[in-house]
Chains A and B, each alone.
Chain A
């Protein structure tokens, strides 16, 4: 298993440009999520999905769109990049139907995005 993969690893954008951060998992996990990591703020949830065709907003959704057409993929789209979106982005997944309340979330290696 490759686990959770993210592409690209690094990206530099100009203000106003659009791009898609890719996330894929091969563990048949139902739950997937996107976080951004900023200094002194920990990880903040952007969007999440509990299964194919179902998405919802997290703590900081503005400026980002997501879709979940398959179980494996959960891309994050920036429609018009802004300098405030400079951050490290992590995708995570977990299998929500395993018994109990302690399912481990598996994280991808991250995408470091700079918006100039």
Chain B
């Protein structure tokens, strides 16, 4: 079956540090890949997505590249801010299927 494995947290960084949150997946075919963000007390919001190999999703300074050869979709940001403190979820959706499979989430805390 499909699965998503993401970097265990929590992750604590200083403001302006470089961020990487690792995500790898197992799926047949070519799934779509997503990063969702959950701010404290809120629901999940789509951060970025990629639908095919070598696609790069980007939003709010975050980026992730769909790597078919390594089955990965790592989230990166060059300079994090305190407002980026949240829980980040990697997810996949198999082609033709609406269901999302989520990773366990990574809690990120940015300190001033």
Contacts and interface: CB of A to CB of B under 8 A. Distances in A.
Interface of A: 4, 31, 33, 35, 40-45, 48, 50, 58, 90, 92, 94, 96, 100-105, 107-110
Contacts, number: 54
B51 A100 contact: yes
B39 to A, nearest CB: 11
Nearest to B57: A102
B49 A102 contact: yes
A40 to B, nearest CB: 6
Interface of B: 32, 36, 42-46, 49, 51, 89, 93, 95-96, 98-100, 102-105
Interface centre among A4, A92, A101, A107 (most CB of B within 10 A): A101
Contact of B99 (A33, A42, A107): A33
B98 A48 contact: yes
Contacts of B43: 4, 90, 107-110
Contact of A102 (B32, B42, B44, B45): B32
A41 B104 contact: yes
B98 A102 contact: no
A3 to B, nearest CB: 9
Contacts of A90: 43-44
